[in-house]
């Protein structure tokens, strides 16, 4: 472990206020964080399997992200690999509408291509 993981109530990158939602935006705005939560919500996974599921994620970043998530109490390492905590499951649940939204987004972007790609 090394760098400070964002925690509510404490100033984070981009916000001195310590407002919980800002800590959340900091944590989730780090690369791979949401993807890892996403994958873990489907099924628990060990380090190496998680890496396989997130194609191209570097082991070093996976390691620090798992530290982040562990410090934030959203995930924890068990005998069968990393699992979301109840809090982590709630977060994924809060993020769930993203999936439906992204399909709407895809539709709307599909209609009129943004000036490249034939």
Using CB under 8 A, which of 43, 76, 77, 98 touches a second copy? 98
Question: Does residue number 61 form part of the binding site for a second copy (CB under 8 A)?
Answer: no
| Region class of 28: left (phi > 0), else alpha (psi between -120 and 50), else beta | alpha
Q: Of these partners, a second copy, DNA, none, which one is at the site of residue 76 (CB under 5 to 8 Å by kind)? A: none
Q: Are 78 and 37 in contact (CB under 8 A)?
A: no
Distance of CA 38 to the CA centre of its chain: 7
Taking CA atoms, 86 is separated from 11, 51, 76, 90, 93, in Å, by 25, 22, 11, 6, 10
| Binding positions for a second copy, rule: CB under 8 A | 7-10, 13-16, 20-25, 28-35, 38, 54-57, 71-73, 87, 90-91, 93-95, 97-106, 108-110, 114, 117
Residues that bind DNA (CB under 7 A): 1, 3, 13-14, 30-32, 46-49, 56-61, 63-64, 66-67, 77, 81
């Amino acid at each position: 472990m090394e760098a400070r993981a964002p925690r509510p109530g404490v100033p984070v990158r981009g916000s001195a206020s310590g407002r919980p939602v800002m800590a959340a935006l900091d944590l989730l705005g780090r690369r791979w964080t949401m993807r890892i939560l996403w994958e873990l919500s489907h099924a628990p996974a060990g380090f190496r399997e998680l890496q396989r599921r997130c194609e191209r994620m570097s082991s070093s970043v996976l390691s620090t992200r798992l530290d982040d998530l562990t410090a934030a109490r959203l995930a924890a390492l068990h005998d069968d690999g990393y699992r979301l905590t109840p809090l982590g499951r709630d977060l994924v649940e809060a993020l769930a509408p993203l999936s439906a939204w992204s399909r709407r987004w895809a539709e709307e972007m599909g209609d009129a291509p943004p000036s490249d790609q034939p």
